[in-house]
Amino acid sequence: MIRHSLGLTLGISASLLPSGIAQAEHTKSVPVVTQVQGAALYRTSMTISNGNAAVTTPVNMRFSYRAPDGSFQIAQLAISPNLGPRKVQVFDDIVQEFKDQGAIRAADVNSPLFGTLLVTFDTIEDDNKFEAAAVARTYSAAPAGGTLGIAYAGRCFCLTGSQGRVIGAMRSGVFGNDGSTRANLGIINEGFGTTDVQVSYFDGDSGNLLKTFALSSRAGHVLEENEVYQINNLFADPAVPGTTTKLVVELKALTNGVYVSGYGVQLDNTTQDGAFFFFEEE
């Protein structure tokens, strides 16, 4: 089941909403923001806009991440000044902005970080959600200059995730005559409460089940609210035969009442250029 509102449709009281989110506000859920060294140094820029013609709105951001010591951390930061009518605020590196403003705990300031971002517009309600936007671009330096990146829009928190199945297709291997790709899988707990997630891989040619496992067996922990966990190079899993180039991936929360979403990233093995897409939600 996909949620259609934070409170009215589901009968959820304000006291059960994640901390900092009220029914009179509008919140965008951004699945990934990062500052981490992988095959390249990946950073996330944010473009946050208020499209209302008359209203100035406070904007509050909440960055949720798993720290290098294994603890789950939540950092909060308000945009200053408040975002005026038809105004845009841009952050070239949103994680660095949190660090520069002292919003990240001291133990993590010099660490690579990977997590989710909630962006709340205090005076824009869900009925007018089209007036607010939070667009992320995760990027790295290109070998010949400039940057390579993937862009994705934050979704209304009132619509993200499913209590049912979440399904997507992934591919790997040669891409025509121009190179080859690999695939990363992202899994997000969109609330309300902690949960483990059942992950299943199906061969995209035969339809046969290749593997089913609880995410905690891979991550070492269940997912907290608004926590993301990413499995890189999905096809390198020993359960996936080397001849398999296509997968159907199915996700399902193992705690009743919790919403899960998923995404895929297809990455070029040579340039590291990527493409981002959300999974389908039941």
Q: Are residues 264 and 225 in the same domain?
A: yes
* 190 inside domain: yes
- Rounded CA-CA distance 184/77 in Å is 29
Of the candidates 156, 177, 203, which is a domain's last residue? 156
Q: Domain range spanning residue 58?
A: 20-156
- What is the tens place of the pLDDT at every residue in 144-171? 889 989 999 999 999 999 999 999 999 9
Q: Are residues 110 and 193 in the same domain?
A: no
Q: Are residues 33 and 143 in the same domain?
A: yes
- What is the tens place of the pLDDT at every residue in 213-259? 999 999 999 999 999 999 999 999 999 999 999 999 999 999 999 99
Domain count, the chain: 2
Helices (H), 3-127: 94-100
Q: Give the contacts of 267 (CB within 8 A, at least 6 positions apart).
A: 181, 182, 183, 184, 273, 274
Q: Are residues 137 and 110 in the same domain?
A: yes
Length of the chain: 282
Q: Are residues 183 and 70 in the same domain?
A: no
Q: Are residues 147 and 29 in the same domain?
A: yes
Query: Looking at residue 201, which CATH number applies to its domain?
Result: 2.60.290.11
Q: How much is the average pLDDT of 49-78?
A: 97
Handedness of CA 182, 226, 197, 204 (dihedral sign): negative
* 257 inside domain: yes
